Amino acid sequence: MWVISSAFRPYSTLFTTDISFIPKNANIESFKWVFLESDFFIWLKNSLIVYIITVIVTLFITIPAAYAFSRFNFLGKGLLLNSYFILSQFMSGMGIVALIPLYTILVRLKLINSLVILALVYTASLIPYITWYLKTFIDTIPKDFDEAALIDGASFNQIWRLVILPLAKPGIYTALIFISIIVWSEWVLAGILLNSDKFTMPVGLVTLQGRWETPWNHFSAMALIYAIPMLILFIIGRRYLKSGLTIGGLKQ
């Protein structure tokens, strides 16, 4: 409520005891500043580049991998799954410590200040958890669908593309939401690996916070606009998940 209210307030009225959803002296000067004077569109473009690359590469790798882990037995499967589980559980805790060697490696390879490299780093950190999640979701899809497709002459490639993927859409969309939450809001790694000309929106928002003073009305306006794509994603996802459940799709 305070963020929405402050986005429409003049800066001089921010630090008052009067709290209202839409203030009496509301104006859109902060939004004008965002669109006309700030680096909003540069930061948004950089964020979209990182987000799109991360989503495409992560799902391109994890969906086939999850299907293979769910449906096939092969040498090293247990070891890989256990490794994925450990990485997905402990990467969040070890993330800050891992920044030091990661930064050192990227500096030596001269890969600093690259949006593509940042997206690939995000992808590498997401693959264990997303693969594990999608694997457990595909496990809930009865193998009867696979067997019926095999009887009809479908190949394994056709089965996962034409049978499993449509049934796994709710799980894939949930994985997309997980990816979006992390990538759309991450600023620590981006702030370390990127220079000011390549800042993503979360890093740009952090730079608005001054040492002695912060224009919270500008900050709030930019944050609200930046949150709109995620809001739309959640609204669409809620409707999609309700209609895409596979439970009951197989009659025994």
Distance of CA 224 to the CA centre of its chain: 17
Q: Give pLDDT, residue 25.
A: 78
Q: List the end-to-end C-alpha distance of the chain, in Å, as a whole number.
A: 50
What is the DSSP secondary structure assignment for residue 197, as one 8-state letter?
Answer: G
Q: What predicted TM-score, i.e. pTM, was given to this entire model?
A: 0.86
Instruction: Give the torsion sign (CA, 144, 149, 154, 157).
Output: negative
Q: Give pLDDT, residue 4.
A: 85
Q: Give pLDDT, residue 222.
A: 94
Distance CA 135, CA 88 (A): 13
Please say whether the beta carbons of 130 and 178 come within 8 A: yes
Please say whether the beta carbons of 138 and 71 come within 8 A: yes
Please compute Rg for the chain using Cα positions.
22
Name every residue whose Cβ is closer than 8 Å to that of residue 172 and which is 6 or more positions away in sequence. Answer: 59, 63, 134, 165
Contacts 24+ apart (CB under 8 A), 33-39: 33/218, 33/221, 34/218, 34/221, 34/222, 34/225, 38/218, 38/222, 39/199, 39/204
Using CA atoms, how far residue 123 sits from 114, 136, 167, 216, 243, in Å, is: 14, 20, 24, 32, 29
Q: Give pLDDT, residue 103.
A: 87
Please say whether the beta carbons of 70 and 167 come within 8 A: no
Q: Give pLDDT, residue 16.
A: 67
Distance CA 110, CA 74 (A): 38
Q: Give pLDDT, residue 245.
A: 47
Residue with tokens 């799109």: 52
Q: Give pLDDT, residue 89.
A: 63
Q: Give pLDDT, residue 17.
A: 61
Low-confidence stretches of the chain (pLDDT beneath 70): 16-21, 23, 87-96, 239-252
Q: Give pLDDT, residue 73.
A: 85
Residue with tokens 């999608």: 134
Residue with tokens 């256990």: 82
Distance CA 13, CA 19 (A): 11
Report all structural domains of the chain as residue ranges with CATH numbers, in order of start.
2-10+28-243 (1.10.3720.10)
Residue with tokens 């009951």: 248
Q: Give pLDDT, residue 47.
A: 96
